[in-house]
Structure 1
Amino acid sequence: MNNNLARELEIDVPLRSPEAPKESPVHMPAPRKAGITRIEKLLVVSVSIVVFALMTFYISQEIMISTLNRTLQDKTVTIANEQNVNENLSQEIQELSRYDRVYEIAKKAGLTMNEANIRNVSK
């Protein structure tokens, strides 16, 4: 019988290999697919739209400000030219209304001075 026992052990030994210790289950998150989700896509698209709208608004405001500045410069130049013309005309009025010039024109027209009809007007 001893022989049978030894054979039985020889046969059983290779079949009974030590079992690997079982690892305790670790709670790991489910693996995520590569790529972005719908919410992330929506967020990226909405941020892009907002940024594009703000850039468009900024550029349009800059164009409007530039146009207004150019208009203001044109008006300033026009006003300066009109003031220059007004000063020239007031100098011409002063030259044409000198007493000796008026007296000379009256003399050529045959007019005489009548002291009773003269009135002094002050401003």
Structure 2
Amino acid sequence: MSLNSNLARKVEVEIPLQSPSNVPEQSTGMVHRSISKKSLATRVEKMLMGIIMAIAFTLIAVSISLEINIASTNRALQDTKVSILNTTTINSNLQQEVQELSRYDRIYRFANKQGLKMNEANVRNVVK
């Protein structure tokens, strides 16, 4: 068999055995404590992240709710302003119509049609 072959070869290597006395001693309780501390920190961090996420979600929900409330209030305010403007316009038109209908010459013509005569002795002037 040639040395340039691509096939794997089995090579025997001796691995020295280590005695258990050379391995540094670690107490098993210490390992458990470090793992539990690590887990506890992770649990606390997860709990804090959950609380922060819940607070953030609550703030976002409250913010959206307030924005909706403000928008609906603004819409109601605009509707009220339009209603007031329409009522003001109607009142102005009616006031103008009252002024036109209460002109002296119109009232005098209406009285003549009804057969009423002007009697100066029965007329009283009212001053405001």
The normalised TM-score by structure 2 is 0.68
Pairing 1:113–2:118 present = yes
Pairing 1:51–2:56 present = yes
Residue 66 of structure 1, CA deviation: 0.1
State how far apart, in whole Å, the 1-side matches of 2:110 and 2:53 are. Answer: 81
Residue 122 of structure 1, CA deviation: 2.7
Q: Specify the SS of the correspondent of 1:37.
A: helix
Q: Which runs of 4+ in 1 moved over 2 A?
A: 30-34
Pairing 1:89–2:86 present = no
Could you tell me which residue of structure 2 aligns to residue 23 of structure 1?
none
- Tell me which structure has the larger Cα radius of gyration: 1
Could you tell me which residue of structure 2 aligns to residue 20 of structure 1?
none
Pairing 1:80–2:93 present = no
State how far apart, in whole Å, the 2-side matches of 1:107 and 1:114 are. Answer: 13
Residue 71 of structure 1, CA deviation: 0.3
Gaps of 5+ in 1: 1-29
Identity %: 52
Gaps of 5+ in 2: 1-33
What per-residue deviation string (whole Å, max 9, x for no partner) do you get for residues 30-74 of structure 1? 68869x611000000000000000000000000000000000000
Residue 116 of structure 1, CA deviation: 1.4
Q: Specify the SS of the correspondent of 2:77.
A: helix
The normalised TM-score by structure 1 is 0.71
